[in-house]
Structure 1
Amino acid sequence: MNPSLARLTQLLPPPPEPREKDWRPAEQALRVDELPSDYKELIHAYGGSNWDDYLYLLEPGCPNDNYDLIEWEDQQTEALDGLWEFEKKPAELEDEATRVIPWATTDNGECLYWLVRPGQAADQWTIMVNESSGDRWEHFPVTCTQFLASALTGDLKSTILSSRFPLAVHEFRQLKAV
């Protein structure tokens, strides 16, 4: 278990039954060689889930279709392609071969992405946060579990995410079919 995930399990114990996944179909659908190992561990432990009644962790094949990683990637790719026609890309995305893949969203509509650069291993992907219906972006040079653990402990601050996140007493719920 990576140190950031170990930190998360101290903050909020995971559900008793881990989620098993065949990752190859999701990786093929996302057109990547592999997804970050810390994300796979996070999904194995927690599955698609809601954190502090605000942040939703996306999962391929999520029991709640609203938070399926593959569906979100399709929607966000289309939305961002339209956005770039009218707005300037953040500096991190100016290289045409660089792209983003969503891994989490919020109840306000902000989206958290992996920054995927050509030739970069999945475990080196960093995090981009985009405001809901706006052009503000933030870049965090951390993995998704580092981001989530640091956000929950208050060690990482975002000017885009809600000032009410994280909660003083953390909450977690696994997403179920609707």
Structure 2
Amino acid sequence: MTSIDRLITTCPPPSPPTTTYTDWPAVEQQLGMPLPTDYKQIADTYGPGTFCGFLHLYHPHAHTTWTSLTGPMPSTIRAQLQQEHEQDTPPLPADPQELFPMAVTDNGEYLFWVTRPATSPDAWTVAVNQARSFRWHSYDGTLADFLTAVLSGREIVPVFPSSLLDHGTFFTPLTPAANPTAEQPQPSSTMASSSDIRAWARDHGYEVPDRGRIPIEILDAWQAANTQ
């Protein structure tokens, strides 16, 4: 049984299954990196949506740019990690440029691929960062194995709520973009720095910490105000 088979057995995909078509070579070219085989299988099998009403896997056809694999979030989060790293915060599980965000929870935790080695995505492991904290949890396995272990209760992630599986395992699909083959938003090479976003937030009456992660609602507001 393959990793994706084990995940499907643990948490069945939508019925009928998603029919969203993804041009993976084009997505990988847009990102400038290959993607793990199991991630592409998960994205094709489940489509955009959430696991247990809690974990949102980034998807090329996500209903919002904040859960889009090709949207602004990966660049924004990496910029924040880089800034935190330069401020001598507690150690990260890898260099910021080796951490690629690929999921977010309702509580604001981010899930990352540890992209080592860069040219072997099927060997990438998983790291989880607690919201508004420097606490990390690492998993020495693939994304499909991680999801299966968490959703079966075999892997306890301390930064996830203990009630995660209280209602069983389920996947909730979200409506994909009206035109799934349309070009998705690209990460901006001119994305503002964390300090710029913090300055904007204070100028507009938001309370934002000097260090650490910028709250998602502030990122949302900044993006809405600065999208042409």
TM-score, length-scaled by structure 1? 0.87
The corresponding residue for 2:157 is 158
Question: Which of 73, 90, 106 is the matching residue for 1:88?
Answer: 90
Runs of 5+ in structure 1 lacking a partner? none
| Cα distance in structure 1, aligned partners of 2:168 and 2:100 | 30
CA RMSD, aligned part only? 2.1
C-alpha distance in 1, partners of 2:136/2:124? Answer: 16
Amino acid at match of 1:89: P
Matching residue of 2:48: 48
Once the two structures are TM-superposed, the CA of residue 63 in structure 1 deviates from its matched residue by 3.0
Match of 1:19 in 2: 20
Give the whole-Å Cα distance in 2 for the aligned partners of 1:165 and 1:18.
28
Cα contact 1:19–1:46 (8 A) shared by 2:
no
Identity %: 29
**Partner Cα distance (2:80, 2:48) in 1:** 22
Amino acid at match of 1:67: T
| Structure 1 residues 164-175: aligned runs within 5 Å | 164-175=163-174
15-24 or 52-61, which moves further after superposition?
15-24
Structure 2: 5+ residue stretches without partners: 178-228
Distance in 2 of aligned mates of 1:139 and 1:13: 25
Size of the aligned set, in residue pairs, is 173
Residue number in structure 1 paired with 2:30: 29
Correspondence list, 1:1-178, <5 A: 3-15=2-14, 16=16, 17-32=18-33, 34-71=34-71, 72-86=73-87, 87-90=89-92, 92-94=93-95, 99-176=98-175
Take 1:167 and 1:29, find their aligned partners in 2: how far apart are those partners? 39
Greater C-alpha Rg? 2
Scaled by the length of structure 2, the TM-score of the pair is 0.69
| Structure 1 pair 65–54 and aligned structure 2 pair: CA distance change class (3 A) | same
CA offset at residue 138 of structure 1? 1.5
CA contact under 8 A between 1:129 and 1:138: conserved in structure 2? Answer: yes
